[in-house]
Structure 1
């Protein structure tokens, strides 16, 4: 006997019903674009996190952590690159501190510093806010490579840390990404900014910071970090921490050890220093921990490069943070037979700031940078950012 409680179902019903259900599920992750104050929500929800195209942290609920995605520039297939943003907004008003990382795609320890700081924060006990941006150069991070693979005339590898403050209508995707982020997230929501990096692939450094100590507030921030070396220099045009500073937002560039790895011994002092900054500005409570004075901080205003004149295998005779004298032999280079083809000496008195981590080199590569002090009128050398 047929069950009269069942509806009459034909073949088309079995096909249409799953499609309708899938449409309902897909629609659950989307919605109409909306604004809340100055914040613009696109209507998209990705893995439970709302997507914004403009952020004003004044619109966010105090006493909470907010996890969002920022809609950045579109990829070559038309999908926007989403950038992970977390805001710990205090229960009380106060300073707005911004922590950025992932401007270069091979810098892992810098991202971990920011993650660990955010894990420690309890917004219910905070005054002000801490905004973390974890993965700014998403295409570079996907391949764990330093530069953004821009698809203009074939693949061009663009150093995004020469693009700031960017241009929303620029001629490269990386310039537009920088412009969108700087104008719609970073500049409007920052009173102080720390832009975290590491050494680049092929070049290793220890714990050091880049910043212009002629700016009193920048000097005060640097001194709160228990790191061993500081490059007191404005550095290159187009870097993010300079874009912040030019916009009236004091900023520094901490460099957290080597690229492509997590280095816990390098990460720890930068987490401690960042928490010192938050305590200094009253964002969180507690006493200041170790500082640059405790670490025996060495401050130089220049970094002298030692460049390879030959190709071959290299052996370092000194390590990062070692003191060296002008004329001291610091690198030996050999060919495939083991014959010495070049020896390199430090051109200055100073400390070893960074060394080439790859064991071979072509002519022209940087083998080492020596951090030192020279007369300001002489100008500054390149630095291993």
Structure 2
């Protein structure tokens, strides 16, 4: 895993540090070694991370779409949409997991923005958000490139479950959003998969990136963005979303948007409601904000849509968890986005006899940003998260993803 946020690059010196990563890329490339997860028949030499390399085709096609093991979007025909499969890590059978890649290559040169979804397998609204953005683009009228990856954790998506089922050391479930930037020679398949994608697909084709998520199964969240707002390039993008909450915190290492930031690529995480459903109303907010981001980077022309200036945005730098202390049915007394005061009762819990066994209050004043949607809970389950402002936020604290 990467170092903790406070030990990684100083984000206030963001652009200077990003230049330094160019020199470091040669060192990273040297570690690729002969144990690459990609077989030598397709590419015997690992590209230097972050440096565009020639696109490598395997010669295979899946449902009429060409398969690549490395991609440089500059190799693709301008003014067109391109649908590809990226060859990821091997399954236990020796076959590969393939990742869907859509590239809208503009007719004119310009910035490159990457949109990622499907890092968790139960996040359907995030996938639909990216698909909707891509379906609105006309490459013939664009300056620059937008690349979308919509099913990063394919084995998790096939079961519509959050974590990647891994069998390297017995039956295990691995959270793909704790694996970035990955390691092509890592111990687990998810680590290798993350390394392949980050080194050969995502990082080499990004000037900016947005990683789309939802709440986990059984837990609902509001529309909010997670971002290091002390980075001007990131703040400029986040402010373009007409959503009501911002979690201003660098959270912890291993998440994809931090892997981008750590190599000098401005990025943040968008949270689009609940898992396993399509929240079309909430999706529309993130589509509008993402189209604004593409206009901000000069990829699209035209006026901005609604932004954060058009809605009441609550900004907090910490998320206070309220955890169940008993087992039983949970009744929420507040809703998402509600303002709460310190000491306010937010939930009660009853046992099988209907007796109240616990009452839960907020220890902080803020806004509700996440709530357990499963009606039952056992001790230790998060019941709610309250977004609030903390004088000195903790590094690496949890959040309601």
Common fold, TM-score beyond 0.5? yes
Distance in 1 of aligned mates of 2:248 and 2:358? 31
Instruction: Confirm or deny: 8 A CA contact 1:302 1:380 kept in the other structure.
Output: no
- State the TM-score, normalizing by the size of structure 2: 0.87
Match of 2:190 in 1: 174
Higher alpha-carbon deviation: 171-180 or 145-154: 145-154
Query: Does structure 1 residue 108 correspond to structure 2 residue 108?
Result: no
Match of 1:339 in 2: 355
Query: Does structure 1 residue 371 correspond to structure 2 residue 381?
Result: no
In structure 1, the residue corresponding to 2:367 is in which secondary structure? strand
Match of 1:40 in 2: 56
Distance in 2 of aligned mates of 1:134 and 1:366? 28
Match of 2:70 in 1: 54
Match of 1:274 in 2: 290
Instruction: Confirm or deny: 8 A CA contact 1:51 1:68 kept in the other structure.
Output: yes
Query: Does structure 1 residue 250 correspond to structure 2 residue 266?
Result: yes
Once the two structures are TM-superposed, the CA of residue 153 in structure 1 deviates from its matched residue by: 2.2
Once the two structures are TM-superposed, the CA of residue 293 in structure 1 deviates from its matched residue by: 1.6
Bigger RCO (CA 8 Å, 6+ sep) = 2
Instruction: Confirm or deny: 8 A CA contact 1:166 1:179 kept in the other structure.
Output: yes
Match of 2:110 in 1: 94
In structure 2, the residue corresponding to 1:217 is in which secondary structure? helix
Distance in 2 of aligned mates of 1:288 and 1:99? 19
Match of 2:212 in 1: 196
Match of 2:97 in 1: 81
Once the two structures are TM-superposed, the CA of residue 376 in structure 1 deviates from its matched residue by: 2.0
Distance in 1 of aligned mates of 2:380 and 2:63? 46
Match of 2:326 in 1: 310
Query: Does structure 1 residue 149 correspond to structure 2 residue 152?
Result: no
Once the two structures are TM-superposed, the CA of residue 382 in structure 1 deviates from its matched residue by: 1.8
Once the two structures are TM-superposed, the CA of residue 381 in structure 1 deviates from its matched residue by: 4.0
Instruction: Confirm or deny: 8 A CA contact 2:107 2:144 kept in the other structure.
Output: yes
Alignment of 1:204-223 (within 5 A): 204-223=220-239
Instruction: Confirm or deny: 8 A CA contact 2:251 2:395 kept in the other structure.
Output: no
Stretches of structure 2 that go unaligned for 5 or more consecutive residues are 1-40, 45-51
Distance in 2 of aligned mates of 1:249 and 1:78? 33
Q: Structure 1 residues 240 and 379 mapped into 2: Cα distance closer, same or farther (>3 Å)?
A: closer
Once the two structures are TM-superposed, the CA of residue 321 in structure 1 deviates from its matched residue by: 0.2
Match of 1:323 in 2: 339
Once the two structures are TM-superposed, the CA of residue 33 in structure 1 deviates from its matched residue by: 5.9
Supply the RMSD in Å over aligned alpha carbons: 1.5
Once the two structures are TM-superposed, the CA of residue 371 in structure 1 deviates from its matched residue by: 0.1
Instruction: Confirm or deny: 8 A CA contact 1:34 1:43 kept in the other structure.
Output: no
C-alpha distance after superposition, 1:215-248 (max 9, x if no partner): 0111111000000011000012100000001010
C-alpha distance after superposition, 1:176-195 (max 9, x if no partner): 00000000000000000000
Once the two structures are TM-superposed, the CA of residue 74 in structure 1 deviates from its matched residue by: 0.5
Distance in 2 of aligned mates of 1:377 and 1:356? 24
Distance in 1 of aligned mates of 2:205 and 2:379? 45
- State the TM-score, normalizing by the size of structure 1: 0.90
Distance in 1 of aligned mates of 2:386 and 2:66? 46
C-alpha distance after superposition, 1:169-209 (max 9, x if no partner): 00000000000000000000000000000011011012100
Instruction: Confirm or deny: 8 A CA contact 2:42 2:69 kept in the other structure.
Output: no
In structure 2, the residue corresponding to 1:118 is in which secondary structure? helix
Once the two structures are TM-superposed, the CA of residue 384 in structure 1 deviates from its matched residue by: 1.1
Query: Does structure 1 residue 135 correspond to structure 2 residue 156?
Result: no
Q: Structure 1 residues 170 and 37 mapped into 2: Cα distance closer, same or farther (>3 Å)?
A: closer
Query: Does structure 1 residue 163 correspond to structure 2 residue 179?
Result: yes
How many aligned positions are there? 354
Structure exhibiting the larger radius of gyration computed from Cα positions = 1
Distance in 2 of aligned mates of 1:115 and 1:346? 38
Distance in 2 of aligned mates of 1:67 and 1:211? 30
